[in-house]
Structure 1
Amino acid sequence: MKKQFSATKGLNADLENFEITDILQLITQQVKCGSLSVEGKDGNCSWYFLDGGLVDFECDFPGHLLDLKSILVKSGHLDESAYDLLTGKRGLGEKEVAELLVQGKFISPGELENINLRRLIESFIVTMQWTKGKYSFFPTSEVQRHPFLPAQDANFIILEALRQIDEMTVMKKRLQPLDRVFETTLAQANGEASIHDLNLFKEGLEAQFDRDELETYRLFDGKRPLSEILNRNVLGQFHTCRIILDFLERGIIVPESSSQSTGKLSRAPAVNRQLSGLPLMLLGTALVIATLLSIKNLTNPRQGLKPTFFSAIVDNLRADRKAVLAQAAELLRRP
C-alpha cells in the first residue's frame, strides 16, 4: 500500500513507493509551482512548474542523446566545434546558445520549440520506465520559463508519454531481439555493383527520405545493434522504432552479413554473397537506364511516351542534373 504524502512542504521519495504520475498530480493540483527532480542509475532529470504548467526542464541521460548540442549538430544547424566554442570560451549555457542561433537565423523559434517539446516528452518516456530511483520536490514560485518551450499541460505530456511507451512496447516486440545488427541494402551490395550505379542509387534513395529518416538511415553502419540505435538516435525511441519498422518493410535495411553476437564472420560461400547483391545490381542498372531515358525524354519530349518506373526519383534529381549527366556519360564511355 502506497504512503500518503503532501507536496506543500517538499518531498523526498523512492520510486518504489511513489509513481511519477501520482507526484505530478499533486503538484499540478495542489502546489502548482516548484521543481521536481528524479535521479537513477541511468541519469537524472529536473522539471519546473509554474501555475501548474511545465515551463522548463534539464536532463542528463548519458545513454540517450537528448541534449540540445547533439540534436543541433546531428541536424546540421551547428558545427560541434562552434558549439564547444560558444559554451567553453564564451561560457554560454544551452539556452543562451539557442538564443544566438535564433538571432543569427540558423534556426527558427518554432523549430526549437518542436525540438524541446520532443525532448520533454522523451524525458518522461525514459524516467517512467525506471524501476529504481529517487525523487525530490522543492516548492517555489521562483521558476524561470524556458525561452523556447511554451508552457505545457503536465497531464497532456504524461498521457502522450504513456501512449508512446505502450506503442513502443508493441513495436519493440516486432524488432526483437534488439541485439541484432543491421546494415543498409546499399552497403550490403558494395563491391558487387559499379561505384557509379551505387552513387546514383544512393542519391535516388536519399532523395526519398525526410530529415528524420535520413538521420536514422546513417546510423546503420553494420556495427551498432538495434538497442544502441534506439537509445542514441536524437529523434527519441518512439520515432526511431517507427522509422526502423518502416525501413524493414521497405527493404532498406537487412541483417548484417557477419554474426556480431558471436564475433565470427559468416562462413557462407562467396557465391551466396554475390547472389544476395544481384537484385540490387539489377535495380542499379535499371535506375541508370531509366535515368538516361528520362533525361532524354526531358530534353527531347515526344508524345505517347509513358513515365518510366523511376520518374519520381528523376524528378528529385533534377536539381543535380549536371552531375547525373556526367555520371551517365562516364558509363557510356565504358567498354
Structure 2
Amino acid sequence: MQKGVNSSMAFEGSIEDFGVADVLQLVNSQAKTGVLTFHYRKEIISLGFENGMISSAFHNRKGVLKPIGDYLILTGKISREEFSKFENIAKRRGVPIVDILVENAVLTKEDLEKIIEFKIQEVVDELFTWKKGEYKFRLGDRLYSKSKYSVFVNPQFLILEGMRRIDEWPKIKKAIPDPKIVFSKKKKPDITVEIGEQEKIILNLLDGKRAVEDIVETCGLGKFRTYHALYNLLDGGIIEKSTQVIKPKRRQKRLVALSTQNIIGIISWFLAILFLLTNLALSVYKRPFYKKYVLNYKKTSVHIKNYNDKKIEEAMEAYRILTGGNGSISELEKTGWFK
C-alpha cells in the first residue's frame, strides 16, 4: 500500500502491496524527475528518472551485475591498463569515467548509449526477481548529476521485457541449473530452429571448456540473454552438456628448500623427542637409569628412625616397671600401649 502520496509526487511503500511494474508505471505516467530506490535487507537498487523516462540505474550488490568498466574490459572493448589510465584521469578531474572514454574516442556516444541502456535493462531485470522489499521516490534527485551523457529508456518497454523474462526464467533455470555447467557444440546437430544473432554470438564462444558463468562475463549480452540463448541452442539440438566438470582451482603447494643446517636441526629435535618418549615408556616397567642419582625423599630419615626406636625402648621400660611384664612389642600391642 502506498504511503505519503502528495502533490509533489514523493511517495513510498512496499512492493508486496504495490508491485514493481505498478510503481514504474506510476512515475512514468506522471512524467516526473527524481530517484526511485528499492531496498531489501542490505540490497539496494536505484533508478534515475528524467520526465518519466529511466536515465540511469544503480545496484549495490557485488557479483550480480558487472560495473561498466568490467563490462568493457571483459568484452574486449578496452584493456585493463588503458582503463586504469583513463580512470585516474577521471578521478583527477572529478568526472565520470565514461566521459573520459568518449573524449578519447575509446567509445562513441552511440556506443555508450547502447551500453547504458543494456545496463539499465540488467538492473530492472534483477529488480523484477524481487518478491519483497520497500521503495521510495525522491522528487528532484539525480543519480549521476555530473555526467554529460545520458539516455532515456521508456519504462513501458522495460516492464514488458521484464515480465516476459520472469515468465521464461523457471524453464531456463531448470534446463541450466548450475552456472558451472560446460556446453559444447554437437558434431552433427539436428537444427530445428533458426539461429538468431545472440545465439550466434554464444555459439562462437562455446569451446567445451568455458562454463556458463564465464560466457556470461565475456559475451556482453548479460545474464538473462546469455541463458536464454543457451536454452534456445540446447532446446534446438545444436549444443549439449559436456562431460567436463569445472572444479575450483587448487592452490599449488610450495616446495621449501632445506639447507644442511636445517636438516641437522630437524633430526636433532626428532631424536630428542624420541629419547623422551622412550624413557617415558620404560618408566612404566622399571626405574629409569638416571633415577639412581636422584635423592629419594620418600625414604625415612636416619634421625627419625633413631628417635622412634628410642621412644619404643622408653615405652617398653615403662611397661615393665608399671605392670611387671616382660615388655615385648607384641605384649604392648595386645594391651593397647602400641597401635
The answer, yes or no, to whether TM exceeds 0.5 is yes
How far apart in 1 are the matches of 2:222 and 2:125?
9
SS at match of 1:129: coil
2:25 corresponds to 1:25? yes
How far apart in 2 are the matches of 1:128 and 1:50?
21
Higher-Rg structure is 2
2:214 corresponds to 1:213? no
Distance change >3 Å, CA 40–CA 87, structure 1 → 2: farther
Q: Which amino acid aligns with 1:240?
A: T
Match of 1:267 in 2: none
Structure 1 residues 104-115: aligned runs within 5 Å: 104-115=104-115
Distance change >3 Å, CA 93–CA 235, structure 1 → 2: farther
Distance change >3 Å, CA 89–CA 3, structure 1 → 2: closer
Which of 243, 251, 273 is matched with 1:256 structurally?
A: 243
1:94 CA displacement:
11
Distance change >3 Å, CA 105–CA 90, structure 1 → 2: closer
Deviations 1:252-307 (Å, cap 9, x if unpaired)? 5533335969xxxxxxxxxxxxxxxxxxxxxxxxxxxxxxxxxxxxxxxxxxxxxx
Distance change >3 Å, CA 40–CA 212, structure 1 → 2: farther
Match of 1:119 in 2: 119
SS at match of 2:96: helix
Which of 237, 252, 260 is matched with 2:223 structurally?
A: 237
**Contact 1:64–1:233 (CA under 8 A) maintained in structure 2:** no
2:161 corresponds to 1:160? yes
Q: Which amino acid aligns with 1:257?
A: Q
Match of 2:100 in 1: 100
SS at match of 1:61: coil
Distance change >3 Å, CA 253–CA 74, structure 1 → 2: farther
Deviations 1:72-122 (Å, cap 9, x if unpaired)? 101212222332343346516997322222232222222221111111111
In the superposition, the TM-score normalised over structure 2's length comes to 0.56
Structure 1 residues 55-134: aligned runs within 5 Å: 55-88=55-88, 90-91=90-91, 96-134=96-134
How far apart in 1 are the matches of 2:161 and 2:59?
19
How far apart in 1 are the matches of 2:133 and 2:93?
27
Structure 1 residues 148-297: aligned runs within 5 Å: 148-173=149-174, 175-178=175-178, 181-184=181-184, 212-213=201-202, 217=206, 221=209, 224=211, 226=212, 234-248=220-234, 249=236, 251-258=238-245
Gaps of 5+ in 1: 187-207, 262-335
1:22 CA displacement:
2.1
Q: Which amino acid aligns with 2:202?
A: E
Structure 1 residues 302-317: aligned runs within 5 Å: none
**Contact 2:5–2:12 (CA under 8 A) maintained in structure 1:** no
**Contact 1:122–1:161 (CA under 8 A) maintained in structure 2:** no
SS at match of 1:24: helix
**Contact 2:11–2:138 (CA under 8 A) maintained in structure 1:** yes
SS at match of 1:49: strand
Gaps of 5+ in 2: 187-196, 249-339
SS at match of 2:116: helix
Q: Which amino acid aligns with 1:244?
A: L
Distance change >3 Å, CA 27–CA 90, structure 1 → 2: closer
**Contact 1:42–1:62 (CA under 8 A) maintained in structure 2:** no
1:245 CA displacement:
2.6
Match of 1:12 in 2: 12
1:10 CA displacement:
2.6
Match of 1:306 in 2: none
**Contact 2:124–2:162 (CA under 8 A) maintained in structure 1:** yes
Q: Which amino acid aligns with 1:19?
A: G
1:139 CA displacement:
0.8
How far apart in 1 are the matches of 2:171 and 2:103?
42
**Aligned residues: percent identity?**
20
1:40 CA displacement:
3.0
- RMSD between superposed Cα atoms in Å: 3.9
Distance change >3 Å, CA 3–CA 77, structure 1 → 2: closer
SS at match of 1:44: strand
